[in-house]
């Protein structure tokens, strides 16, 4: 590198650091200003977080790498502020939250855009996912514009756009094995934290007073099943079903990581955390979560054994044996599992059917643009012609993420979202044939994580467009696909 090039590099680096410092300073001031209007605990939490944050920055010099890991670790932490909020009597998104993940993402995006403007980085849109995603966003935006309650609609629309940016960022910026490796470790740390909290909730028989991190009243629930009272844990995610969905998205990644070529001690540690996560999954008592994770494990073990044995038949036989043994052990060792599966649930599962009927009524009468983004709960009573008048008994949106999309934004929006998932799985097929074991196995893990969401979303109230971890996973699958293709030809991605 010539002296002139070194001088230009130094000047660019100093300019980047100055802009980043200014951005972080302004952001910290805004965070403290907003926190000051809330309860004192929020202000104290922000001060502690900012002190910790800048302390870490002093230690590390790779700011992008640090923020990437911080973003991955903060995904399950529900420390947020609402800059827009609209009180309603229904269970739905009630405003525009800003989380600590969002703050990390803003910094990463700011730095990336700065690099693009300096022509030091580039952007790819990956049409196989971006084209249907943009169509979905446009249809969601149109339904928001025509909705009855536009504040609720456009709050969710902004979050949908943000989630697409999450996909674009991680698909473009994860370019090394080192980054993938440490992201897996950061996600595993999140699993460890949630598992410890969930197990403590079960042991103490209640919440732990961690409201500041998202542990609300629904984080620990007791319900009668048959003649037994069962306790369900929710960590800091919000409720047991949400915790199960979060665990399911990461546990297949950890399972596949254990079978990669890495240090034995790290494999042991990862295996212990994985088993803790599985135990916590059991303690959520989420039947939809169990089913989803079971399906993912079938595909994960098939992919793992196929790579290890180079035989489809042997893979299928061994996969069947492992899954059968695991299921028998879980049912045999845990009385709560047997109770949850085989005892009377007092109509808990049946109630989803009339809820789906309400959704079908909405779709039938509003097939093209739906009733408006995030307006399902607001209008569902008008479409409730069920014998049970279910929307009055349970004022919740339908427990099916796909029907939710069709009801709120129309059938075309649902089709666009299905094409997003199709594009993701089309990219993921390379993982089962790829030569690089590390990228292939982790790609299978991430793909199976999305598969758990697809299965669980059939029984779970979830807003697919704003599920950050879902879009993050799609970004990681796209990045791993690029890394695997590059490794096959010996090139940099």
Does residue 372 sit within a domain?
A: no
Does residue 448 sit within a domain?
A: yes
Same domain, yes or no: 99 and 186: no
State which of 102, 126, 150 marks the end of a domain.
126
Question: What's the pLDDT score for residue 25?
Answer: 66
- CA angle at residue 119 from 117 to 125, to 5 degrees? 80
Same domain, yes or no: 104 and 217: no
Question: What's the pLDDT score for residue 256?
Answer: 93
Distance, in Å, from the CA atom of 484 to the CA atom of 480, rounded to the nearest integer, reads: 6
Identify any residues that bridge with 82 across adjacent strands, giving them in sequence order.
97
Alpha-carbon distance values, 461 to 97, 242, 352 (Å)? 19, 9, 10
Same domain, yes or no: 94 and 183: no
State which of 126, 147, 182 marks the end of a domain.
126
Does residue 252 sit within a domain?
A: yes
Same domain, yes or no: 397 and 273: yes
Q: In sequence order, which ranges of 36-148 are alpha helices (DSSP H)?
A: 40-59, 63-74, 100-117, 127-145
pLDDT at 93 over 60: yes
Give the DSSP H/E element, type plus range, for residue 220.
strand 220-225
- Residue 492: pLDDT band with limits 50, 70, 90: very low
Same domain, yes or no: 10 and 108: yes
Does residue 82 sit within a domain?
A: yes
Same domain, yes or no: 412 and 465: yes
Comparing 195-199, 328-332, 379-383, which segment has the lowest mean pLDDT? 328-332
Does residue 135 sit within a domain?
A: no
Question: What's the pLDDT score for residue 237?
Answer: 82
Give the domain extent around 96: 3-126
pLDDT digits (tens, 9 = 90+) for 247-275: 999 999 999 999 998 889 999 999 999 99
State which of 94, 126, 158 marks the end of a domain.
126
- Residue 135: pLDDT band with limits 50, 70, 90: very high
> With contact defined as beta carbons under 8 Å apart, do 140 and 154 qualify?
no
| Structure tokens that stand for 371 in this block | 């009733």
Distance, in Å, from the CA atom of 82 to the CA atom of 95, rounded to the nearest integer, reads: 6
Distance, in Å, from the CA atom of 228 to the CA atom of 144, rounded to the nearest integer, reads: 44
The CA dihedral of 451, 452, 454, 458, to the nearest 10 degrees, is 150
pLDDT digits (tens, 9 = 90+) for 275-299: 999 999 988 888 888 889 988 988 8
Same domain, yes or no: 333 and 450: yes
**How many structural domains comprise the chain?**
2
Percent of the chain surpassing pLDDT 70? 71
Does residue 267 sit within a domain?
A: yes
Same domain, yes or no: 206 and 74: no
> Do the strands 80-85 and 95-99 form a parallel or antiparallel pair, or are they unpaired?
antiparallel
Same domain, yes or no: 435 and 339: yes
Q: Which residues contact 47 (CB under 8 A, 6 or more apart)?
A: 32
Alpha-carbon distance values, 3 to 8, 15, 89 (Å)? 9, 18, 66
Using the 8-state DSSP alphabet, how is residue 293 labeled? H
Same domain, yes or no: 288 and 436: yes
Same domain, yes or no: 196 and 265: yes
| Structure tokens that stand for 323 in this block | 């899954």
Question: What's the pLDDT score for residue 31?
Answer: 64
User: Can you tell me which residue has the tokens 């909020």?
Assistant: 85
Does residue 477 sit within a domain?
A: yes
Comparing 4-18, 38-52, 123-137, 226-240, which segment has the lowest mean pLDDT? 4-18
Same domain, yes or no: 102 and 227: no
Q: Which of 93, 179, 105, 122 is nearest to 372 (CA)?
A: 93
Does residue 150 sit within a domain?
A: no
């Amino acid at each position: 590198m010539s002296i002139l090039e070194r001088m230009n590099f130094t000047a660019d680096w100093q300019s980047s650091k100055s802009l980043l410092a200014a951005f972080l300073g302004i952001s910290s001031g805004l965070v403290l200003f907003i926190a000051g209007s809330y309860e004192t605990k929020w202000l104290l939490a922000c001060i502690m977080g900012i002190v910790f944050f800048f302390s870490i920055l002093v230690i590390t010099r790779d700011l992008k790498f640090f923020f990437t890991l911080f973003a991955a670790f903060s995904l399950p932490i529900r420390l947020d502020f609402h800059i827009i909020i609209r009180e309603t009597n229904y269970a739905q998104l009630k405003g525009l939250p800003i989380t600590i993940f969002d703050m990390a993402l803003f910094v990463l995006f700011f730095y990336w855009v700065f690099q693009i403007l300096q022509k030091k980085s580039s952007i790819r849109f990956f049409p196989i996912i971006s084209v249907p995603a943009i169509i979905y966003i446009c249809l969601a935006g149109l339904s928001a514009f025509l909705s009855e309650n536009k504040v609720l609609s456009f709050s969710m629309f902004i979050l949908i756009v943000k989630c697409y940016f999450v996909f674009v960022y991680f698909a473009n910026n994860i370019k090394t094995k080192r980054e993938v490796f440490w992201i897996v470790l950061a996600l595993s740390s999140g699993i460890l934290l949630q598992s410890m909290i969930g197990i403590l909730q079960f042991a103490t028989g209640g919440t732990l007073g961690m409201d500041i991190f998202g542990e609300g009243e629904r984080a620990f629930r007791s319900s009668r099943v048959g003649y037994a009272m069962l306790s369900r844990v929710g960590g800091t995610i919000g409720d047991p079903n949400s915790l199960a969905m979060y665990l399911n998205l990461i546990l297949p990644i950890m399972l596949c990581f254990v079978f990669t070529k890495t240090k034995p001690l790290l494999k042991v540690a990862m295996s212990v955390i994985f088993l803790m996560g599985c135990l916590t999954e059991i303690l959520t008592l989420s039947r939809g979560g169990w089913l989803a994770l079971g399906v993912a494990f079938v595909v994960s073990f098939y992919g793992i054994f196929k790579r290890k044995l180079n035989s489809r038949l042997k893979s299928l036989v061994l996969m069947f044996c492992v899954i059968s043994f695991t299921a028998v052990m879980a049912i045999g060792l845990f009385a709560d599992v047997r109770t949850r599966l085989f005892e009377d649930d007092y109509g808990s599962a049946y109630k989803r059917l009339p809820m789906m009927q309400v959704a079908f009524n909405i779709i039938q009468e509003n097939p093209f643009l739906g009733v408006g983004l995030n307006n399902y709960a607001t209008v569902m009573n008008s479409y409730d012609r069920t014998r049970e008048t279910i929307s009055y008994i349970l004022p919740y949106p339908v427990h099916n993420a796909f029907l939710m999309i069709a009801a709120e934004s129309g059938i075309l929006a649902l089709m666009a979202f299905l094409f997003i998932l199709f594009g993701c799985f089309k990219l993921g097929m390379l993982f089962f044939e790829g030569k690089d074991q590390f990228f292939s196995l982790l790609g299978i893990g991430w793909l199976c994580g999305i598969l758990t969401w697809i299965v669980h979303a059939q029984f779970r109230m979830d807003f697919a467009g704003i599920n950050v971890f879902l879009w993050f996973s799609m970004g990681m699958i796209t990045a791993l696909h690029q890394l695997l293709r590059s490794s096959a030809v010996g090139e940099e991605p």
